[in-house]
Structure 1
Amino acid sequence: MFRKTQKQAYAELAFEFYKKFGYEFKNPTLLVEALTHRSYIYTNENHLPSNERLEFLGDSVLGLVIAEYLFKLHTEYNEGDLTKTKAILVNEITLAKVGIEIGLNNLILLSSEEEKSGGRERASIISDAMEAVIGAMYLDSGLETSAKFINQVIIARSAELLADTSQRNYKGELLEYLQSRGQEPPYYEVVSETGPDHEKIFNVVVRTTGNITGSGSGASKKEAEQRAAAESLQFLKSLEYDETSKED
């Protein structure tokens, strides 16, 4: 039976990556290393290290690109706001979610044991591979190429990713924001409920200083309140920024 050479296997993996993402590695070995989980190196003769070093590099490249994007986009954000927002876009949960959506998890090289134990869907493995691929692209073609990939797979989804209220406590942030300015705590009100009992949707508004500054809907009161708080926080910060700009 014909057995693929190592070079052929590398080329096939690089071609699969090219079909998915439109980037052709000049050095396919970098891509293979980026997709090699440490479990794979003990059971195969690819003579490559695991992706852990590339993960380290990719983490820094990703952080830089996301930081620059947020810095330019949100001129009204202070350092704390930028840090919290960046943390959502670069954390393990986000990277794993994106990795599954774009199918990168299907390219990761795992041992058969790791595969059987669910490694291909494990968040830590997928997020590490995402960072390693970014690091590999940086070494292969530089910052511009890796930034283009980050824009394509993460920044293009940023609105959706940041709207995931499960990753951020917007109610807590809104309360902290108001208290730091000597204002009363926010007041949440369910204004309507729609749908059958088993699929009920709650519609909530939040009032700050007596005015409605945000609204949100969700399958639970908590989810709706989180979304209302997120909208209120964005509105209040934009308002504050506009007033500061006028003074300047």
Structure 2
Amino acid sequence: MLDTLQKTINYRFKDQALLECAMTHKSCKKLFNNERLEFLGDAVVDLVVGEYLFDRFPRYQEGKLSKIRASIVNEEGLTILSKAIGLNQCIYLSASEESNHGREKPSILADAFEALIGAIFLESGFEEAKRIILFWVKKFYDSIDFDQIISDYKTSLQELTQAQFGVIPEYILLQEMGPDHKKSFKMAIQIAGKEYAQATGTSKKQAQQECAKIAYKILQHS
């Protein structure tokens, strides 16, 4: 499967161990996993997509560009790219994570995409990572009406609370549940000292987005 992946992205790793690391989820309990590469790839993806949008939409202000970028680089957006290149078939998972449908979890797929980009960046540098990111971003997002896909409630809520209250929302981790291979996170959101929502997700980011979505709708109708 790794050979097929490399053909799909038109990139052949000189160090196959680096690719294996990028595809190894932490549930495997090996001496290595893709968390550090995911951290690195996250920064590279953000920069490349940010530059792409900056050039493509010269009249858009920072707030709108941030929303559009968030709609592409969030878990849902990266999962689309991850499945398109077949990462869901390449990730190494523990037996328990496999049985829990780990290959379909947005958090795992998005992290794997970022880890892959981090590995390419480490081996071949920024321009090669940029080439691959842009090819797939343009394939799926070049002709989309971005006003239709913006769904970053955290950014929208922050703009709303700054306008209404002069403060930004505070996200509080209430509980971390489950084993390492199947964690979930319960978050709360407070605005000006008042709690507006609680939500649970398979990642902190997802739980925060759900909290923000609830709070945003409450404030819009208050």
Query: Are 1:167 and 2:165 counterparts?
Result: no
Query: Are 1:52 and 2:35 counterparts?
Result: yes
Return the alpha-carbon distance in structure 2 between the equivalents of residues 50 and 164 of structure 1. 36
- Picking from 135, 139, 142, the partner of 2:125 is 142
* Deviations, residues 9-55 of structure 1 (Å, cap 9, x unaligned): xxx73x2322222210111111111110001135xxxx4x1100000
Output aligned runs, 1:1-248, within 5 Å: 13=2, 15-42=3-30, 47=31, 49-158=32-141, 159-160=143-144, 162=146, 165=149, 167=151
Return the alpha-carbon distance in structure 2 between the equivalents of residues 128 and 83 of structure 1. 20
Return the alpha-carbon distance in structure 2 between the equivalents of residues 102 and 129 of structure 1. 11
Return the alpha-carbon distance in structure 2 between the equivalents of residues 121 and 84 of structure 1. 25
The one-letter amino acid paired with 2:104 is: E
- Taking a change above 3 Å as real, the CA distance of residues 98 and 133 of structure 1, as seen in their structure-2 partners, is same
The one-letter amino acid paired with 1:20 is: T
The one-letter amino acid paired with 2:29 is: I
- Runs ≥4 residues deviating over 4 A: none
Normalised TM-score (structure 1)? 0.58
* Structure 1 segments unaligned to the other structure (5+ residues): 1-11, 177-248
> What residue in structure 1 maps to residue 188 of structure 2?
none
Q: Shift in Å at residue 160 of structure 1?
A: 3.7
Normalised TM-score (structure 2)? 0.64
- Taking a change above 3 Å as real, the CA distance of residues 161 and 137 of structure 1, as seen in their structure-2 partners, is farther
What RMSD in Å do the two structures reach over aligned CA positions?
Answer: 2.4
Q: Shift in Å at residue 168 of structure 1?
A: 5.8
- Residues matched between the structures, number: 156
The one-letter amino acid paired with 2:53 is: L
* Structure 2 segments unaligned to the other structure (5+ residues): 161-222
Do the aligned partners of 2:24 and 2:91 also contact (CA within 8 Å) in 1? Answer: yes
Whichever of the two has the greater Rg, that structure is 1
